[in-house]
Structure 1
Amino acid sequence: MTRSGTERRGSYAKGIAKREEILERALDVIAREGYRGASVKELADAVGLSQAGLLHYFDSKEELFTAILRKRDEVDSAGFGLYADDGSVVRGDVEKGFVAVIRHNADVPGLVQLFARLSVDAADPDHAAHAYFVERGRTLREAFAESLAARQAAGELTRAVDPAVLARIFQAVADGLQVQWMLEPDIDMAAITEALFTALDPRTARTEEAGRGAAS
């Protein structure tokens, strides 16, 4: 490889590394300062760049925030055991991992605010985050439906509802709870989600019937 080729390759690698540094620092800043407090200027200051220098790594402010959410998903997936190293879903931990992420969200309100705000704006097909939210929702539901189907086969979840529909219900509950939580911070999002799993477990109904029978 020529020297110019080596230099281009080195420059590209440095650019990727800087972009990753920006995203990692941005997660910390937004989690700490909140969505409204995390301006492009503050994010740029956190990584020692000018605002123009920061946006050199992204096409726009919206693209920057979309990349931050993608990084957040990457960190959460690795940290809470939602997926194995090969990208496949960890079936046995679907409830544990899903609920753990929801519980963790209560500790990072700024990122929840960013997600909620951007998800509304992304309804516009021309928005920078539109493809991200469509892709994220589809991938989440497909992986979740596979795990829910496994739980149905094991008798741990009702068979009355198709797993693909159940996956969409759980997604709607998680997203809706975030909005409710931003309005009423004392809501326990994780506990409510766990209650839904319990309500959909046929063993719960059998236990209740047995308890009523014993009491009569």
Structure 2
Amino acid sequence: MSYGDGMSSTRSARSEERRAEILRAALEVIAERGYRGASLAAVAERVGLTQQGLLHHFPTKEALLVAVLEERDQWDAVPNSQWRLDLLGSLVEYNAMRPGIVQTFSALLGESVTEEHPAREFFTRRYAGVRASMTEVLRAEYGERLPGGLTPERAAPLLVAVMDGLQFQWLLDPQAVDMPGAFRDFLDLLAGRASTGPS
């Protein structure tokens, strides 16, 4: 490797570190203020950059938002072939330990249903992929029919709705909503089992 190549790779590594710092800061600012209330200036200040310096890494606020969402999805990434229902339960438990991330995701999801929101396309595409993945998870577990008679295709949107709907309820009143426990109850319903939780 030439000296020039070494300098280039060092610069590239520094740029990636800075990019990761910006994404973490953006996540915090969005969690505190919502997407519409979050400014590039506030994110830049948090990482010790000028707004111009931030724009070097992310040319627009929309580009930063989509990068934040894609980064958040990477944290949960499991190859589709490896998802199982019991792993979904573990993911819900994991989410219960990181309310800031869940809050940001939920706030952006809620905002994204408005016309021309920059995250709308991301969430539309994401949900199509998640429904397809959950269909395969359910098919691997139950075959072509769940115990209640639904096909995996019809049950998948319900599974996704319960996961995300529980997050909203838990964020609003974490003392009253046991998110992992409620999700386990739902898995028992899907399986046609009586819940083993408290009556």
- Check if 1:97 corresponds to 2:87: yes
Partner of 1:133: 123
Q: State the shift of 1:12 in Å.
A: 7.1
The two structures have a TM-score, normalised by structure 1, of 0.70
| Matched position secondary structure for 1:48 | coil
TM-score scaled to structure 2, two decimals?
A: 0.75
**Greater CA radius of gyration, 1 or 2?**
1
The residue aligned with 1:68 is 68
The match for 2:47 is 47
Residue 158 of structure 1 is matched in structure 2 by: 147
2:157 corresponds to which of 168, 179, 182: 168
Task: Specify which of 167, 180, 184 is matched with residue 178 of structure 1.
Answer: 167
Question: Which stretch of structure 1 is more off in the superposition, 175-184 or 34-43?
Answer: 34-43
Give 1:197-216 correspondences, 5 Å limit: 197-202=187-192, 204=193
Residues 22 and 47 of structure 1 are in contact (CA less than 8 Å); yes or no, is this contact kept in structure 2?
Answer: yes
Deviation at 1:16, TM superposition (A): 5.0
**1:194 Cα deviation after fit:** 0.8
Aligned counterpart, 1:88: 80
Q: Deviation at 1:152?
A: 0.7
Question: How much has 1:43 moved relative to structure 2?
Answer: 3.2
Q: Which runs of 5+ in 1 are unaligned?
A: 1-6, 78-82, 209-216
Q: Describe the SS at the equivalent of 1:18.
A: helix
Identity between Structure 1 and Structure 2 (%): 33
Q: How many residues align?
A: 189
Are residues 17 and 55 of structure 1, via their aligned partners in 2, closer, same or farther at CA, if it must alter by over 3 Å?
same
Partner secondary structure for residue 160 of structure 1: coil
- 1:137 CA displacement: 0.6
Deviation, 1:142, is 0.7
Question: How much has 1:50 moved relative to structure 2?
Answer: 1.8
Match of 2:19 in 1: 19
**Contact 2:148–2:190 (8 Å) recurs in 1:** no
- Deviation of the 1:171 alpha carbon: 1.0
Rounded Cα–Cα distance in structure 2 between residues aligned with 1:110 and 1:88: 26
Structure 2 residue 53 is matched with structure 1 residue 35 = no
CA offsets 1:168-212 (integer angstroms, 9 cap, x no match):
10111112112211221211111111111011213x26x99xxxx
- 3-state SS of 1:126 partner: coil
Cα RMSD (Å) of the superposition? 3.5
Deviates more, 1:51-60 or 1:168-177: 51-60
Q: Which residue of 1 aligns with 2:3?
A: none
Change (3 A) 1:133 1:178: same
Do the aligned partners of 2:41 and 2:51 also contact (CA within 8 Å) in 1?
yes
